[in-house]
């Protein structure tokens, strides 16, 4: 029987890709033993990794068709069309952010012209272009849940099952991380932290991080090591906070690819960071997270998935603004989060972990 060629359309950065993992596992379940390709954008920011750095090649994604966002010229669209047609796809699956019904319809027409015999997942209903309100939890559905509604015709997967977040690590990645972690005190568990973010709005700022790391050091440095992850441009900034830690610590900013960072996170006691890509990477490994969040999205949509996390989110009057720069309220949502609140969140996570071990 001929191998099916499945092409998936997904745009975005680290967090956008990670929250799509359950949907990719559902696609694999619906079309087993197929060849999977991903149509995606080139990174729009120097801090953003490529999709291939996140998924690797196989078994979830075997091939990539990348293009620049905001293509204005017909020759650019024609070039993308040629790339897709040459891929000879059997099925196209639309799996991307909310862009409205008209945009989805236009994309459906474009990809139909690319020769796809079967299109799946185009959000041509209003309910698919928004995250549903969940009264029981008093928050909106996660982006992972909304993506699964796109492709509900393919079946279902359990978001609470970590197998559906599996990134299929390679032995070479595991061996590299094992060697790196030998540089920490082998008798200690460790905490992972990331202070980087692409958007100024999400930055909790240096004075808050300094106070937090100092307080964490006083309370936890004898028991835990501390690891910072991020891109190379965040190395010097992270080193300021490592220097405040009294115990064993590693600055791995720039030393790891996203998949390798995920393996470091997999063995961490907990993760602490902004509402950015690494928090979703940690949640995908089942690692409890302390997420210091803006209110740029409505509550729940971009929270790390799972019940084991502590999300610090202040819902102020402008919640859901989706801004990347805040001039009117001066980042009130994130800067109103106090160091004491974060310390309490850490204590809550450690208490839950302690109860689980009993």
If asked whether residues 180 and 141 sit together in one domain, one would say no
pTM of the entire predicted model: 0.94
Q: Which residues of 150-166 are buried (b: 16+ CB within 10 A; e: fewer)?
A: bbeebeebebeeeebbb
Across 187-196, 210-219, 238-247, 268-277, least confident range:
187-196
Q: 194 by DSSP, 3-state: which?
A: strand
Across 97-101, 159-163, 232-236, least confident range:
97-101
If asked whether residues 341 and 194 sit together in one domain, one would say yes
Domain-ending residue, one of 110, 134, 165: 165
pLDDT > 60? residue 1: no
Q: Which residues of 280-307 are buried (b: 16+ CB within 10 A; e: fewer)?
A: bbbbbbebbbbbbbbbbbbbbbbbbbbe
In terms of pLDDT, which residue wins out, 134 or 98? Answer: 134
Across 77-81, 219-223, 267-271, 339-343, least confident range:
77-81
d(CA 144, CA 25): 12
- Bridge partners of 41, per DSSP, are 67
If asked whether residues 218 and 349 sit together in one domain, one would say yes
Indicate the angle between helix axes 339-357 and 206-220, nearest 10 degrees. Answer: 40
Q: For residue 209, name the pLDDT band (cuts at 50, 70, 90).
A: very high
Q: Alpha-carbon torsion 318, 319, 322, 328, what sign?
A: positive
Containing structural domain, residue 349: 174-357
If asked whether residues 199 and 348 sit together in one domain, one would say yes
In terms of pLDDT, which residue wins out, 275 or 73? Answer: 275
If asked whether residues 132 and 200 sit together in one domain, one would say no
Q: What is the CATH number of the domain that holds 308?
A: 3.40.50.2000
pLDDT at residue 85, as a whole number: 83
If asked whether residues 23 and 144 sit together in one domain, one would say yes
Contact by Cβ (8 Å): 213, 245: yes
If asked whether residues 158 and 189 sit together in one domain, one would say no
Contact by Cβ (8 Å): 87, 5: yes
Over its C-alpha atoms, the chain yields an Rg (Å, rounded) of 21
If asked whether residues 155 and 193 sit together in one domain, one would say no
If asked whether residues 108 and 209 sit together in one domain, one would say no
If asked whether residues 129 and 199 sit together in one domain, one would say no
3-state secondary structure 229-277: CCCHHHHHHHHHHHCCCCCCEEECCCCCCHHHHHHHHHCCCEEEEECCH
**Beta-carbon neighbour count of residue 354 at 10 Å?**
9
Place of tokens 């699956």: 93
Q: For residue 222, name the pLDDT band (cuts at 50, 70, 90).
A: very high
DSSP label at 123? -
| Beta strand spans in the chain (E) | 5-9, 35-41, 63-67, 91-94, 118-120, 133-134, 139-140, 189-194, 224-228, 249-251, 270-274, 289-292, 310-312
| Structure tokens given for 135 | 């009264």
Q: How many domains is the chain built from?
A: 2
If asked whether residues 190 and 145 sit together in one domain, one would say no
If asked whether residues 306 and 161 sit together in one domain, one would say no
Domain-ending residue, one of 123, 148, 165: 165
d(CA 244, CA 258): 26
Q: 192 by DSSP, 3-state: which?
A: strand
Q: Which residues of 62-79 are buried (b: 16+ CB within 10 A; e: fewer)?
A: beebebeeeeeeeeeeee
Q: For residue 283, name the pLDDT band (cuts at 50, 70, 90).
A: very high
Domain-ending residue, one of 126, 145, 165: 165
């Amino acid at each position: 029987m001929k191998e099916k060629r499945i092409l998936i359309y997904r745009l975005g950065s680290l967090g956008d890709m990670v929250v799509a993992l359950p949907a990719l596992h559902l696609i694999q379940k619906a079309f087993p033993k197929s060849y999977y390709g991903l149509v995606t954008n080139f990174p729009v920011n120097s801090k953003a990794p490529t999709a291939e750095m996140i998924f690797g090649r196989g078994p979830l994604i075997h091939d990539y068709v990348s293009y620049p966002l905001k293509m204005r010229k017909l020759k650019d669209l024609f070039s993308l069309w040629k790339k897709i047609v040459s891929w000879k796809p059997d099925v196209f699956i639309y799996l991307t952010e909310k862009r409205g019904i008209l945009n989805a319809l236009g994309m459906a027409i474009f990809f139909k012209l690319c020769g796809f015999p079967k299109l799946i997942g185009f959000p041509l209903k209003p309910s698919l272009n928004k995250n549903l309100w969940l009264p029981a939890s008093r928050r909106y559905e996660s982006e992972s849940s909304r993506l699964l509604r796109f492709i509900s015709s393919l079946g279902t997967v359990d978001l609470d099952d970590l197998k559906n977040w599996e990134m299929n690590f390679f032995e070479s990645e595991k061996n590299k991380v094992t060697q790196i972690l030998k540089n920490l005190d082998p008798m200690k568990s460790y905490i992972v932290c990331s202070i980087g973010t692409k958007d100024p709005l999400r930055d909790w700022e240096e004075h808050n991080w300094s106070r937090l790391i100092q307080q964490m050091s006083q309370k936890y440095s004898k028991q835990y090591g501390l690891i910072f992850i991020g891109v190379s441009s965040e190395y010097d900034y992270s080193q300021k906070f490592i220097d405040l830690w009294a115990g064993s610590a590693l600055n791995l900013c720039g030393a790891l690819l996203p998949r390798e960072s995920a393996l470091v996170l997999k063995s961490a006691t907990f993760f602490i960071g902004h509402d950015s890509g690494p928090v979703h990477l940690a949640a995908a490994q089942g690692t409890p997270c302390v997420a210091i969040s803006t209110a740029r999205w409505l509550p729940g949509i971009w929270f790390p998935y799972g019940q084991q996390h502590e999300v610090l989110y202040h819902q102020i009057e402008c919640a859901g603004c989706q801004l990347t720069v805040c001039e009117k309220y001066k980042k009130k949502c994130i800067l109103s989060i106090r160091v004491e609140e974060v310390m309490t969140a850490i204590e809550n996570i450690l208490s839950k972990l302690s109860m689980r071990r009993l």
